[in-house]
Every structure is written in C-alpha cells, then in structure tokens.
Amino acid sequence: MKKILFISVRDPFSERYSGDVIRSKKFVQYLLKKNNVEVVCLGSTKKLTTSKRLTIRSFKRDNPLKCVLNILTSLVKFRPLHFSFFYSTEIKEFVNDNHQNFDVIFCQSIRSFQFLSSKIYKKIILDMGDLFSKNYYQTYRQLSFINPLKIIYFFESILVRDYENYCLKTADITLLFSKKEINFLNNVEKNKIIQINFGIDKIRNLFKYNKNNYKIIFVGNIKYTPNRQACLNFIKKIFPKLKSKFSDIEFHIFGEIRNIDKNFFMRAKGVKCYGKVKNLEPHISKVICGLANLNISTGIQTKLLTYMSYGIPSVSSKQVLENFDKISSHKMVHYKNNSDLVNLIIKFKDNRSFSNQSSKKSLSAIKNFKWEKVLKIFDKIV
C-alpha cells in the first residue's frame, strides 16, 4: 500500500460537471482501492476532510492582488499567464513541506504541476490529458484580428508549449488522451508517455427513432470558449436553416453557462439552455442527434462519449473526431462544412435507417471507453 499525494486545481468530489473533475474523481476512487490518497486542491474555503484512506485538503486560491503579482511574475519568468488564476501559495508551501511523506505524487493537469519544485525527488505521474498549447493555438487561429484576445492566445500558446515540454521531461509518467497527440510530440521520451482514454460508467441504449423527434442537444461547459463558440456558430449559421425546414425543431444546451450567454442564446426561438444537469436521461426523449461541432478541439471530447453511451446518433466536426483513435475506425459521422452539417441533421431526422445505423455504431464504439477497462492501467503505472 502506497501513500499518494493527488494534486488538483479543482476538488474531485465537487460534483462539478467538468471533464477534469469527473476524470480526477474516478482516478482517486480507483487509487483508494489499494492505496492511501491525500488530495490537495483549490476550493471556496480552506478545510480538511478525512475518511478511511482518503484525506482532502482544500485551500483557497490567492487573492486578486496576489493574482496580479503572479501574472507579472509569470511574464518575467515566461510562464503561462493563466496559471495565475489557479495558484495558491498555501498549496505550494504544503507540497514543498510534505512531499517527502508520500511515495507517489499525482498531478491532475499541468496547472497542478506548477506546485512542484524542481527539488522533489519522488515518482511523479502527470495526467496532462490533452495539449493545452494546441488548444490555445487553434483559438488564436479562430479569433478575429480585431479581437484583442488573439495576441494573448498566441503568446500563451508558446508559453504553454514550453511548459508542456518541461513537464514531459520532468514527470516519470505522463498520461495523454490521444495517440495522435502523442505522435505529434517531438524531442520527448515516448516510453514515458501512456495513452489513457476518458471513460463512461454505463451504456444505455435509450435512443428511439421517430420522424417527429425534434431536439438537437449539446452537452458541455459553455463557460469554456470552444464550447461557447460552437453553440454560437450553430445558433447563428446552422439553426435558422433547419428552423426554416422544420418549424418545431429545438436546440437544447446542457452545461454550466453564464447568464449573459444564456439570455443571448435564448433570444433565438427554439433554443433552450438548462444549465448543469446531474442526469441527462429525462431529456433524451425525442432527440434527433447530439452535436460536437467544435472548431477548437484537442484530446477527447467527453460530450461525444456521453451521446454514444446513450446510443444517440451524433455528428462531429472532423477536428473533434480526429483525436478519437478507436472511434474513427468505426466511421462515425462527421461533416465537412456548414452545408454538410445541415444536410446530415436533416438526414438524421428523416431517415430511420441512417439514424439507427449511427446509433448502433455509437454503442459498438463506446465499449472501448468503459471506466473499468480504462482504469486497469493504474495497476501497472502506480
């Protein structure tokens, strides 16, 4: 039995509907089967919780003034700027003072890696997930030249890329979602990188085709820029064309969303925003398809796994599907342009055979992503 220090910028047990929170909770629960785990994370308050072999230490992030100072320090040291919003001096001090008491240090994301000093000589496992640098560079490419954030995303993509390289060289083992992204990396020891998928708990075949189905659904954190942009583009460019053909069609959005975006999106007739929901099952009835139309995408999009786990036909951008190594071989549906996206959704609504065939392919491909199968890899790496 080992003692594991699990560092995360978010509480794995916060029940937040976010891919990194879901993933870190699953990791901690699996590690607890054979180990003692102490979780150090950011929270709304400073507190200590203990139960059986699990300890959770929550620390508050630095106050706004310190945050500004951290940003200035990051500029001087050429470190990623956004790390400052996930920084806690108390976590840094705790890790430096107590790391010798643990056998393994597990960092959930490169944002957590910033709490490690260069003088820590323990086995370090980093769950990098996907490459932030690629995500930021894609965002830079998508933003308009008149958008002041464009230059910030470009600058940040360079800083994050350099920090990712540092993490890959420092960590004993790094976990990434996609084989494609592993192959993308240069000048790193590939034997230190392990591909590990995101997972799902259950497979439930709940999709039922009906010509009167009227819902298109989108699942994801809408506070996340790529998701927000995907919904906005769909509402502005795609949905009106579908609405002109099917007057009763609706676009349902599930996930955390700012009130200003919720109100703006719902100005379009037929658009409904539900916020965060714990159980999607009651909303599955009368669904045409699930949407994963992101132009900015790295790693694995968990929304696509969600659709597939219910047997819901889905349509993705090529950008999203390229990172799903095992799914792409099952010929999942993706579109080439806006016109193609419109036509595919119409086909999902009108063509029973096409919809049911897509549903069957989803149910077949999702078997590769059961958590019980994904997590077995920890027995080897820990």
251 with 220, same domain: the answer is yes
> Does position 129 have pLDDT exceeding 90, yes or no?
no
CA distances (Å), origin 15, targets 259, 303, 324, 373: 20, 17, 26, 23
The count of other CB atoms within 10 Å of the CB of residue 300 is 24
Residue 204 belongs to some domain of the structure: no
Count the domains in the chain. 2
Three-state DSSP string of the chain: CCEEEEEECCCCCCCCCCHHHHHHHHHHHHHCCCCEEEEEEECCCCEEEEECCEEEEEECCCCHHHHHHHHHHHHHHCCCHHHHHHCCHHHHHHHHHHHHHCCEEEEECHHHHCCCCCCCCCEEEEEEECCHHHHHHHHHHHCCCCCCHHHHHHHHHHHHHHHHHHHHHHCCEEEECCHHHHHHCCCCCHHHEEECCCCECCCCCCCCCCCCCCEEEEECCCCCHHHHHHHHHHHHHHHHHHHHHCCCCEEEEECCCCHHHHHHHCCCCCEEECCCCCCCHHHCCCEEEEEECCCCCCCCCHHHHHHHHCCCCEEEEHHHHCCCHHHHCCCCCEECCHHHHHHHHHHHHHCHHHHHHHHHHHHHHHHHHEHHHHHHHHHHHC
Q: What is the mean pLDDT of residues 253-257?
A: 92
162 with 220, same domain: the answer is no
pLDDT band at 330 (very low <50, low <70, confident <90, very high): low
More confident residue, 187 or 47: 47
293 with 327, same domain: the answer is yes
* pLDDT tens digits, 362-377: 898 888 888 888 888 8
Tokens of 207: 């999709």
> Does position 134 have pLDDT exceeding 60, yes or no?
yes
Residue 207 belongs to some domain of the structure: no
Residue 87 belongs to some domain of the structure: yes
Residue 314 belongs to some domain of the structure: yes
251 with 175, same domain: the answer is no
Q: Which of 26-35, 220-229, 330-339 comes out lowest in average pLDDT?
A: 330-339
Residue 240 belongs to some domain of the structure: yes
Q: What is the mean pLDDT of residues 118-132?
A: 84
What is the residue type of 178?
Answer: S
Q: What is the mean pLDDT of residues 30-38?
A: 91
Domain boundary residue, one of 133, 163, 196: 196
pLDDT of residue 331: 63
pLDDT of residue 285: 93
41 with 181, same domain: the answer is yes
Q: Which of 105-119, 177-191, 264-278, 365-379 comes out lowest in average pLDDT?
A: 177-191
153 with 242, same domain: the answer is no
135 with 242, same domain: the answer is no
Residue 203 belongs to some domain of the structure: no
Question: Is there a contact between 60 and 46 (Cβ–Cβ < 8 Å)?
Answer: yes
pLDDT of residue 62: 79
Q: Of the candidates 293, 294, 362, 379, which has an alpha carbon nearest to the alpha carbon of residue 326?
A: 362
Q: Percent of the chain, pLDDT > 70?
A: 98
230 with 334, same domain: the answer is yes
Residues in the chain: 382
- Domain of 267: which CATH number? 3.40.50.2000
Q: Of the candidates 197, 220, 206, which has an alpha carbon nearest to the alpha carbon of residue 292?
A: 220
Residue 206 belongs to some domain of the structure: no
For the ranges 49-63, 78-92, 168-182, 222-236, the maximum mean pLDDT occurs at 222-236
325 with 182, same domain: the answer is no
359 with 275, same domain: the answer is yes
| Distance separating alpha carbons of residues 308 and 358, to the nearest angstrom | 10
More confident residue, 192 or 300: 192
Q: Of the candidates 47, 40, 51, 85, which has an alpha carbon nearest to the alpha carbon of residue 66?
A: 85
| Distance separating alpha carbons of residues 151 and 19, to the nearest angstrom | 27
pLDDT of residue 45: 81
Q: Name the average pLDDT for the chain.
A: 87
Kindly report the backbone phi and psi dihedral angles of residue 48, in degrees, each rounded to the nearest multiple of 5, phi listed first: -125, 125
pLDDT of residue 321: 81
The range of the structural domain enclosing residue 232 comes to 215-369
* pLDDT tens digits, 52-80: 889 999 998 877 787 778 778 877 778 88
> Does position 224 have pLDDT exceeding 80, yes or no?
yes
182 with 73, same domain: the answer is yes
* pTM of this prediction exceeds 0.75: yes
| Distance separating alpha carbons of residues 122 and 124, to the nearest angstrom | 6
pLDDT of residue 358: 92
| Distance separating alpha carbons of residues 87 and 70, to the nearest angstrom | 8
Residues 6+ apart with CB under 8 A from 134: 157, 181, 184, 298
Residue 374 belongs to some domain of the structure: no
pLDDT band at 329 (very low <50, low <70, confident <90, very high): very low
> Does position 325 have pLDDT exceeding 70, yes or no?
no
Judging by beta carbons within 10 Å of its beta carbon (0-12, 13-18, 19+), is residue 36 exposed, middle or buried? middle
Q: What is the mean pLDDT of residues 8-33?
A: 86
178 with 246, same domain: the answer is no
pLDDT of residue 326: 57
More confident residue, 118 or 165: 165
Q: What is the mean pLDDT of residues 306-323?
A: 88
